[in-house]
Amino acid sequence: MKRTELGRTGTTVGQVALGCMLMGTYTDEPTSYRMLDSFLDAGGDFLDTANCYCWWHSGGAGGDSEELLGRWLARTGHRDRVFLATKVGGIVTDVPAALVDGKADWDVAARHFEGTGADVVRHGIDASLRRLGTDHVDLYYVHVDDLTTPLEETLEALDGIVRAGKVRYIGWSNVRTWRLERIRQLADRHGWAAPVAVQQQHSYLRPAPGVDRTGIAGPELLDYLTHHDDLSLVAYSPILQGIYDDPARRARHGMWTTYTGPDSEARLAAVGKVAADLGVTGNQVALAWLLHQRSPRVIPIAGTRTWGQFEAFLPALGVELGVEHLELLAGAGA
């Protein structure tokens, strides 16, 4: 696996992060360990989790993924081989209210996020460190941008845990561009730790006209990150839960409604042509396209639930897109 710099920190990480969200709940422990071991064997080191993963499968407060990673790290002694990222702000304080017939109601969940007040940040990192069985994490994200807490309070608390050695770098997720700029200005003014990464949903397909979601990297944010390369874009759902290869899956998948339309149909056709030319899958082409991006550079998160999905993602690391294929993909759309 190739490596890439995180922002302009001088720290390099594997070009793809492994999403550990479902480890310990949907994905059982032996399979999770197998994925983690194989990811390191393939040259990967960037592991992504959060303190709330994943309450919607466990019915609890979360922490299952962090606990599993803690057991794996204790068993293997690999803490010095991984770049460990976790998050604060996404715990739901009333899980029963947010679960309807066993499924997450995200509108309700959004009204019960823990927020990012100073006490939440300070207690949150300590709880995450206990579950992970380590004395620090490498990257600590604000998981859900909290519009009710003064940014100064959140940033000062984050700076405090960086100075205490509990966190190396901070990041932000699901954030508007204007807020990101405000965060950076305040950090610069007060000498506080500033974000080096922003984690948003991002893929080859573009959202349909009129879709405006905080968590999706839109044109404005992509342009901002192109001109501020001290921030890395870490892309979650880079293959949109596998909708590039299976029309039937797209038709029944809730995520497809965000992207459906002529633009996506044209871009799916381009993916299909490139995949046929290279003898690979559409999902692998979409992931390879992200790895070829330079404006801005992208670190995709491969969130694999099963061993089969893990095996399917690895070949994308070796997919080389030539100039003609990159031009075809870049020019496709309505």
Beta strands in the chain (DSSP E): 3-5, 12-14, 17-19, 46-48, 83-88, 99-100, 103-104, 137-142, 167-173, 195-201, 232-236, 298-302
* Closest among 175, 113, 96 to 141, alpha carbons compared: 175
- Helix %, strand %, coil % of the chain (to 5): 45, 20, 35
pLDDT at 102: 85
In the chain the domains, ranked by start, together with CATH numbers, are 3-201 (3.20.20.100)
Token pair of 250 as six digits: 């797209």
β strands within 209-333, DSSP E? 232-236, 298-302
Q: How much is the pLDDT for 308?
A: 95
CA-based nearest residue to 158, from 67, 83, 88: 88
Sites in the chain below the pLDDT cut of 50: none
Structure confidence at residue 304 (pLDDT): 94
- Active-site position among 33, 53, 141, 204: 53
Q: Name the one residue in this structure whose structure tokens are 């839109």.
A: 218
Q: What is the pLDDT of residue 101?
A: 86
Rounded to two decimals, what is the model's pTM?
A: 0.96
8 A C-beta contact, residue 209 and residue 181:
no
Give the pLDDT of residue 151. 98
- 26 a catalytic residue: no
pLDDT at residue 288 in the model = 97
